[in-house]
Homo-oligomer: A and B are copies of this chain.
Amino acid sequence: MSQFDNVSVVKAANIYFDGKVTSRTVIFADGTRKTLGIMLPGEYEFGTGQPELMEILAGELTVQLPGSQDWISISGTGEFTVPGDSKFKLKIAQTTDYVCSYL
Instruction: Write the residues of chain A forming the contact surface with B, with a CB cutoff of 8 angstroms.
Output: 1-13, 15, 18-20, 22, 24, 26-27, 36, 38, 40-41, 57-58, 95, 97, 99
In the assembled complex, how far is the CB of residue A12 from the closest CB belonging to chain B, in whole angstroms? 6
Q: Give Cα A11 to B10, complex, Å.
A: 15
The reply to whether B9 and A36 contact each other, CB–CB distance below 8 Å, is yes
Given A19-B38, A22-B38, A38-B19, decide whether A3 and B13 contact each other with a Cβ distance below 8 A: no
The reply to whether B7 and A2 contact each other, CB–CB distance below 8 Å, is no
Kindly name the residue among A6, A8, A9, A10 whose own CB sees the greatest number of chain B CB atoms within 10 A: A9
Q: Taking CB as reference atom, which chain B residue is nearest A98?
A: B13
The reply to whether B12 and A58 contact each other, CB–CB distance below 8 Å, is yes
